[in-house]
Amino acid sequence: MYDFTYSKPACLADAVAALTADDEARALAGGMTYIPVLKQRLAKPSAVVDLADLGLAGITVTATTVTIGAMTRHEAVAKSAEVRQAIPALAALAGGIGDEAVRHRGTIGGSLANNDPAACYPSAVLALGATITTNKRSIAADDYFQGMFSTALEQGELIVSVTFPIPQKAGYEKFKNPASRYAIVGAFVAQFANGARVAVTGASQGGVFRHEGMEKALSANFSADATIGVATSADNMNGDIHASAEYRAHLVGVITKRAVAKA
């Protein structure tokens, strides 16, 4: 690692002040991505601001929403009886992130701030039409994701919580990398009174995206069979040692169908 200063503020205002005062300062949530980045000297922050003591963990469930604090660990979401009751697919998604060590340290806020193109949480946030609340404002999921590793967050802006509307039905499925358990392709589907939403992760060069063709088909008929024949172009798909662009495009249909069946 390169040298940097380390602080662990006790309140949100102090954390924001530390990050705003220095353009090269970076926030640390669970550290599951950023600590390896620092160890490999792929980043050179002047300061690291640890968010662990800000009191941003916790889950609140109402009749219509599930709100999760930014520093809530994946394991807490996966094991929450209230989340399992309200949005079972969200709890199942959290329980399938990484391995046990990652789930006990990684946080929903850290995942969303990083916006890895193969991460699981972005697909749930986008498919459920969640709202990301920061220290400055509320951001709709459709406006939050700006591309691979890119979000609407500004310097000094921290995620405080994420609020998910409770759908009529929802399901998540991923074709995972056996080593990292990141999604080679993942699909989160959700049915609401006004139609279906489908978000795909791991597949596109632009990161998580809504699949309009699948949404149209599932809004008309929310069944696994409705996804058959819905085309996914390979033009903007990722291609790497794990899967070609064409294979990922094919997997989108397969995985979406499985997610609907789970829902």
Do 226 and 179 share a structural domain?
yes
**Are 69 and 39 in the same domain?**
no
Q: Residues 182-200: what's their mean pLDDT?
A: 98
**How many domains does one find in the chain?**
2
Provide Rg for the chain, Cα atoms. Answer: 18
DSSP 8-state assignment for residue 117: T
pLDDT of residue 185: 98
pLDDT value of position 213: 97
CATH code of residue 42: 3.30.43.10
Neighbours of 40 (CB within 10 A): 9
Q: Sign of the C-alpha dihedral, residues 113, 119, 120, 124?
A: positive
Residue 117 pLDDT level (bands cut at 50, 70, 90)? very high
CATH number at residue 253: 3.30.465.10
Res 1 pLDDT > 90: no
Domain of residue 35: give its range. Answer: 5-50
Q: Are residues 41 and 69 in the same domain?
A: no
What does the pLDDT read at residue 154?
Answer: 94
Per the prediction, the chain carries an average pLDDT of 96
| Whether 121 and 179 share a structural domain | yes
Residue 168 and residue 39 share a domain: no
260: amino acid identity, one letter: V
**Residue 134 pLDDT more than 90?**
yes
pLDDT of residue 18: 95
- Shared domain for 94 and 142, answered yes or no, is yes
**How confident is the model over 208-231, as a mean pLDDT?**
97
Pair (198, 170) in one structural domain? yes
Write down the pTM of the prediction: 0.96
Contact 137, 110 (CB under 8 A): no
Residue range 28-55: average pLDDT?
A: 94
Please, are residues 188 and 171 in contact by the beta-carbon 8 Å criterion?
Answer: yes
- Same-domain check for residues 37 and 141: no
Strand 47-50 with 25-28, pairing: parallel
The answer, yes or no, to whether residue 225 has pLDDT greater than 90, is yes
Mean pLDDT of the region 47-52: 96
Mean pLDDT of 142-146: 98
Say what the pLDDT of residue 221 is. Answer: 97
Residue 223 has pLDDT above 90, yes or no: yes
Q: Long-range contacts: 228-236, Cβ < 8 Å, 24+?
A: 228/253, 228/257, 230/256, 232/203, 236/204, 236/205, 236/206
Residue percentage of the chain with pLDDT more than 90: 98
Residues 36, 162: one domain? no
